[in-house]
Amino acid sequence: MKTPFVSKEQLDQITKEFPTPFHLYDEKGIRETARAVNEAFAWNSGFKEYFAVKATPNPSILKILQEEGCGVDCATDVEVMMAKKLDFKDISFTSNDTRAEEFIYAREVGAVINLDAYEHIAFLEEVAGLPETVSLRYNPGGVFALGTDIMDHPEESKFGMTKAQLLQGYKDLKAKGVKNFGLHAFLASNTVTNDYYPTLAGQLFELALEIKEETGVELSFINLSGGVGIDYSPADKQNDIAVIGQGVHEKFDQILVPNGLGQIKIFTELGRFMLASHGHLVTKVLHLKDTYRHYVGVDASAVNLLRPAMYDAYHHITNVSNPEGPLQVVDVTGSLCENNDKFAKNRELPEARVGDTLVIHDTGAHGFSMGYQYNARLRSAEILLQEDGSAKLIRRAEKPEDYFATLYGFGLEG
């Protein structure tokens, strides 16, 4: 059973103060997860989680993670600006198809640059000069499998470089005077198994030995990146980060330590695992409609949460106002002029009534941040449920003048 992290009484209070829809984040849960991740990798003295900013780019959230000892991974110069403004000391920059200005800026603020392409070595050198520390992103091609389970298809992924390019890259960088080296790979997304990180780590640790042998480069850090998933569906098993950390530890002790590479630091760039389950999209039922199906129309839409429309992703829904109501099979829809604007299809839910409050679960990562403004539907507010139980507005909802602000000569720019 998935239950909201907020009680009905709390939600009634919050929705009285702030109009729906909004994303609500759970500070207590965020801190607990950050601590569990740090604890799981405490065996590695240089361990750091670089939270993937793109998952939840809100300064109040980033500040909480900073207090818990996390750094940030940025993909664009604007994300780096946010990190810089928040005074993050540990910033990594993992981008692809990167503009020159972005490399220049990342270099200027001292972010650790992780290169997506062999070709970017020459590009970075030309536009910004090579820093002392450079990380390279690996793509082994083929499929990424755990036993007989195919988890993802790296050969179809635009990210990373081949092994030959990687080895040549380290040789080139070393010859050009680079001093510290990192290795990065992201081979499967939203994995719901404790074996993903340990399997990935095993492959990267073996590769570290090969890199040392072929190029003489001893890596300073290995970045396992993101990809550890959460249980979006009640049918999914929850990942156990302690078991995952232990699994990576075992590979580390088996492969790196006996080969004199026990000083390598482990980094992660988790986004989803850190935040997804600590966010709810809170919405109210506006209308009921019966045609060939039963429709529950809510005041949120795909602009607030794109994952169902984009990936047909499952997000659990709780009717907080009528949890014991008789079950009904319904489609839960937003208002966009797009038939994919559905949060649930043929879902069995307790009877929804006009005015009921629904919680759409697990929207804390890649939720608000993937939002857009189709149909001139504006972005929602973001609210933090603080540890003391009080609610704090951490981003206001957009107003029409925000939507018009970038136009010239229209007269409604505000």
Ligand X SMILES: *Cc1c(COP(=O)(O)O)cnc(C)c1O
Amino acid at 124: L
Contact at 8 Å (CB) between 275 and 56? yes
- Our CB check for ligand X shows the closer of 227 and 367 to be 227
Residue 90 as a binder of ligand X (CB under 6 A): the answer is no
- Kindly state the smallest distance separating residue 120's Cβ from ligand X, in Å: 14
Residues between 215 and 244 that touch ligand X (CB under 6 A): 225-227
In the bound state with ligand X, the residue whose beta carbon lies nearer, of 54 and 342, is 54
Residue 269, interface with ligand X (CB under 6 A)?
yes
In the complex, least distance from residue 219 CB atom to ligand X, rounded to whole angstroms: 18
x/- binding map, residues 132-171, to ligand X, per CB under 6 A? ----------------------------------------
**Amino acid in the structure at residue 220:** S
DSSP 44-71: STT-EEEEEGGG---HHHHHHHHHTT-E
How far apart, in Å, are the Cα atoms of 145 and each of 41, 57, 223?
Answer: 24, 31, 19
How many angstroms separate the Cα of 5 from the Cα of each of 71, 276, 343?
26, 12, 20
Q: Which residue is nearest to ligand X (CB)?
A: 226
33, amino acid identity: T
* CB 54 within 8 Å of CB 302: no
* Single residue of 169, 247, 271, 367 touching ligand X by CB under 6 A: 271
Q: Where are the beta strands (DSSP E) in 53-194?
A: 71-74, 91-94, 112-115, 133-137, 144-146, 149-152, 180-184
**Nearest residue (CB) to ligand X, 61 versus 298:** 61
Which x/- pattern over 23-62 shows residues binding ligand X (rule: CB under 6 A)?
Answer: -----------------------------x-xx-------
- CB 234 → ligand X: shortest distance, Å? 20
Q: Using CB under 6 A, which of the segments 208-216, 264-272, 333-341, 390-398 binds ligand X?
A: 264-272
Residue 382: name the closest of 61, 81, 65, 12 by CA.
61
186 contributes a contact to ligand X by CB under 6 A: yes
Restricting to residues 321-380, name those near ligand X by CB under 6 A.
365
Which positions ≥6 away from 255 have C-beta within 8 Å?
202, 205, 206, 208, 209
Amino acid identity, position 231: D
Q: Are the C-beta atoms of 193 and 156 separated by less than 8 Å? A: no
Shortest approach of ligand X to residue 135 CB, angstroms?
11
Closest CB 25 distance from ligand X, rounded Å = 15
Query: Using CB under 6 A as the criterion, which residues of the chain lie in contact with ligand X when the complex forms?
Result: 52, 54-55, 73, 75, 94, 186, 189-190, 225-227, 269-273, 365
